[in-house]
């Protein structure tokens, strides 16, 4: 008799530089070493019954990733977490889990938003009044237009304002600015941080490589009765 476990894990340190595909392989190897028997699909090319939330961009830290895992072993969630953590490298750690007793939609279809922190190292101090004014102007904008290539390779204009739920300044000192944002991060609509970060630097008039901005995904959310709730 198989059981379905939804688990929350974090990805940090050097592990932020491994791809989503490599992470999947790493977890499958860790389950084998932990002697946890995964359930497999039927057919010519069986694969483990594991489904993930929205894939994390390379180089992004996360404190709130999720995966649904079907296993064949009758073990408690606590034992499951302990055994898998003993086999994982530094930088990937399962935080908590829960057995799902009823059929639920796929994780990727449920997730709609992600909560992010953006840390910017400053070469010169910024005025708090100026930053707050620009953040306010940005969030009060009725539309925020960007130009990007569509799937056919044509340049098209997109309004990304509906994809930004919240945006605010968290910390500002002479050396660092930290911003928090909740943005669309799902299969229905998605605002890539590769688009959001250059926009953030532009409104602050900061000249730096967007790749130098540290990004931390704090958690992922689905929407229930108009409220944001974590999947676990």
Q: Express as a percent the part of the chain with pLDDT over 70.
A: 100
3-class DSSP state for residue 67? strand
Pairing of strands 61-71, 214-224: parallel
Residues in the chain: 232
3-class DSSP state for residue 175? coil
Q: Which domains does the chain have, with CATH numbers?
A: 3-109 (3.30.70.580), 112-229 (3.30.70.3190)
The alpha carbon of residue 5 and the mean position of all alpha carbons in its chain are separated, in whole angstroms, by 19
Average pLDDT, the chain: 95
The confidence score (pLDDT) of residue 174 equals 95
Task: Specify whether the CB–CB gap between 126 and 174 falls below 8 A.
Answer: no
The confidence score (pLDDT) of residue 210 equals 96
**pTM score of the predicted model:** 0.94
């Amino acid at each position: 008799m198989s059981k379905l476990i939804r688990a929350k894990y974090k990805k940090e340190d050097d592990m932020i530089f491994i791809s989503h595909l490599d992470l999947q392989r790493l977890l499958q190897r860790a389950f084998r070493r932990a002697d946890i028997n995964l359930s497999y699909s039927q057919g010519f090319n069986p694969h483990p019954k594991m489904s993930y939330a929205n894939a994390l961009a390379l180089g992004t830290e996360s404190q709130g990733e999720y995966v649904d895992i079907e296993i064949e072993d009758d073990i408690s969630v606590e034992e499951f977490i302990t055994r898998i953590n003993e086999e994982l490298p530094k930088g990937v750690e399962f935080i908590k889990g829960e057995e799902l007793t009823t059929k639920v939609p796929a994780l990727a279809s449920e997730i709609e938003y992600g909560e992010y922190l953006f840390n910017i190292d400053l070469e010169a101090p910024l005025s708090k009044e100026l930053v707050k004014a620009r953040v306010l102007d940005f969030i009060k904008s009725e539309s925020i237009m960007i130009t990007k290539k569509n799937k056919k390779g044509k340049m098209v204009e997109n309004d990304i304002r509906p994809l930004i739920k919240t945006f605010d300044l968290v910390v500002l000192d002479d050396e660092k600015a930290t911003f928090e944002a909740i943005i669309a991060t799902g299969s229905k609509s998605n605002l890539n941080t590769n688009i959001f970060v250059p926009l953030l630097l532009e409104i602050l008039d900061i000249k730096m490589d967007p790749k130098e901005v540290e990004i931390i995904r704090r958690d992922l959310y689905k929407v229930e009765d108009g409220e944001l709730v974590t999947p676990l």
